[in-house]
Amino acid sequence: MLVENDGSIVASATAPHAPFASPGPAWAEQDPHDWWRASTEAIRTVLGRTSGDRKADAIGLSGQMHGAVLLDGHGEVLRPSIIWCDQRTSAECRWLDQTLGARRLLELTLNTALTNFTLTRLLWVRSHEPDTWTRVRHVLLPKDYVRMRLSGVYATDVADASGTLLLDVTHRRWSDEMIEAVGLRKDILPDVFESPAPCAQVSRDAAAATGLLEGTPIVAGAGDQAAGAVGMGITRPGAVSVTIGTSGVVFAATERPALDPKGRIHTFCHAVPGRWHVMGVTQAAGLSLRWMRDQFGGGHEGGDAAYERLAAEAAQVPAGSDGILWAPYLMGERTPHCDPDVRAALVGLAAQHTRGHVIRAVMEGVAFSLKDTFEIFAELRLPIVNVRVGGGGARSAVWRQIQADVYDRPVETVKAEEGAAYGAAILAGVGAGYWPSVDHACDEIVVSAARTNPESTAIDVMNRRYDQFKRVYPALRAIYQH
């Protein structure tokens, strides 16, 4: 995406890469080379859509969090990246809890040991692929591999690094105590920067591959959630975003590193220097609807047309889906249950139900799961002044209304729907000096587009259904805990 300094989007493009491979149960891997190939294609397409002598003055990056990219001393990829939704590392989480203890982990990193975090992938490779591990000289997160290919520089940002379980989130630096406790070498980790800070430049080789100008500065950027929050203007306390992509995230900015002593939500550095954020995650949010489309969608439409048809069927069904509940645990769950082993369930089916009932139940179940995070925010007394929604869940009018009814709050969309890419561009603009701060940039260019109010007749129904939803997980846990 190329963004003008008034916030307008000059051009944007996407390029496909392969879906994740799953060589084992609940495993997920991708080839970093494929990210780089897609990135070069998308960059060239964007530059080809511009007119005149426009050029990029600064570059920001964003990408999926938590993935472990393992490189040798020459920067060559050693194995496919184990990405964010992979669930293979339960044993490594238990080892961390036994070795350091959950309380000490919270003290050092403000987070608990979850199968999603990067450190657990490193421990898994060290244990199960020792020959590969002996060759590791650099560890990067997904977007940082793209930066390395653009510049030759090994760097990351504090927001993305917060999801590794190796960062001292309070002091915004690598945790020497954590690194020593797990027996890693600090020199395999990249240098860490604040998100708007310039940290690299486009190399000659990358300029030839992408069409960018050699020497163009690259800022640190941020993981998809923090960058997406910047793109939606979620920079100050009281501002909350709900993004439904493959996963679903409820995100709130804070002035201090707010800690949940029960470890149910994540406390990370924000992409805004001197700020933090808390977030809860539903592993399979948009993934639930995609799974529904792929397995039971019918018809021949693809892409957005298929989702529009599903949403049209859901719109014919009343709030509450006539008794059906969907527990969206296709890939285990993070918030609030931190349970990689639980699996999804469709509860309450009867003979009179149609596919539209099931589709709406899937949408409602995702919203119920995300409401769990709102409940934790209330428990921690975190303010909620306004809620902005993004991702695929914001493009559907039905899903926006469901979210407003479930959260019992108005929800807003923003004019620029591109989320993380737009946020990365804002960070680049701040790094290049177009705006004095991230707050100034967001105040100036992030604009609300539409507002959806909750429907009074649906709120009571959704509250009752949510109470029922909360009773589904304990029943599933009893099934899967062995």
By annotation, the residues acting in catalysis are 224
Q: How far, in Å, CA of 232 to CA of 133, rounded?
A: 39
Taking phi over 0 as left and psi of -120 to 50 as alpha, with beta for the rest, 454 belongs to: beta
Pairing of the two strands 238-244 and 384-391: parallel
The candidate with the shortest Cα–Cα distance to 415, out of 49, 9, 1, 61, is 9
Q: How far, in Å, CA of 465 to CA of 320, rounded?
A: 6
Decide: 280 and 370 in contact? Cβ < 8 Å. yes
Q: Angle at CA 14, nearest 5°, toward 9 and 20?
A: 140
Longest dimension (CA), the chain: 65
Q: How far, in Å, CA of 329 to CA of 339, rounded?
A: 9
Decide: 220 and 62 in contact? Cβ < 8 Å. no
* Distance set, CA 175 to CA 162, 166, 269, 340 (Å): 11, 6, 14, 26
Question: Residue 379 forms beta bridges with which residues?
Answer: none
Q: How far apart are the first and last CA of the chain?
A: 47
Peptide linkage before 436 cis (omega within 30 of 0):
no
Rounded CA Rg of the chain: 22
Q: How far, in Å, CA of 59 to CA of 426, rounded?
A: 10
Q: Tell me, what amino acid is at 105? A: L
Question: Residue 407 forms beta bridges with which residues?
Answer: none
